[in-house]
A = this chain, B = another copy of it.
Amino acid sequence: MILKSQVEWALHCCAILAGLPEGRYLSTKALAELHGLPKEYLSKALQSLSQASLVNTTLGPSGGYRLARASSEINFLDIVEAVEGSARSFTCTNIRENNPCRAEGYCDSKPCAVARIMWEADEAWRNTLRRVRLSDLVSILSEEVPAELWQSTFAWVLKRAG
């Protein structure tokens, strides 16, 4: 049960987008080169963010991506689900129905107990991600990343935004 690598990419890209000056866009090319990622494939992750309305896009030179709303209004779950989908990690195939001792037409009133417990764990995972805002990540990064590196990174990336 492994998340797509695009989840990692999307999170890092959003962290960068969150630090951009108002109204500026960043291209796939710039984000790919900054992170050392395959441009064409990263593009798919960014498209997922776009479809989820987490980012806005514009075409042409100086085009690219920017956050669709404030980084305090975007949480980790938004981003993770945008690329990973929102399906639960546990799928119940209702194998209890195959029990040969079940009477004909017997109907379970509740979803399977096993599934309920597994889904509860899933909810705990989602709740944790929901509680972390993108702005929280930005705060942590700006504390931990040396100011010089932080600034030169944005200078580097903005130069590529034209």
Count the A residues whose beta carbon is within 8 Å of the partner chain — how many? 58
Chain A 59-99: CB-based contact to B (< 8 A → 1; otherwise 0): 00000000000000000100000001001011111011111
Please judge, given known A-B contacts A2-B1, A121-B129, A132-B117, whether A95 and B140 are in contact too, CB under 8 Å: no
Residues in chain B near residue A92, CB distance under 8 A: 8
- Checking B2, B37, B113, B137 against A113 with a beta-carbon cut-off of 8 angstroms, the contacting residue is B137
24 contacts between A and B (CB under 8 A): A1-B3, A1-B4, A1-B84, A5-B93, A7-B118, A8-B91, A8-B114, A11-B118, A12-B114, A34-B100, A36-B98, A37-B95, A76-B121, A99-B149, A101-B153, A110-B144, A113-B140, A114-B137, A120-B128, A121-B125, A121-B126, A121-B129, A124-B125, A124-B127
Residues on A close to B: CB < 8 A?
Answer: 1-5, 7-9, 11-12, 15, 33-37, 76, 84, 87, 89-93, 95-103, 106, 109-110, 113-114, 117-118, 120-122, 124-129, 132, 137, 140-141, 144, 149, 152-153, 156
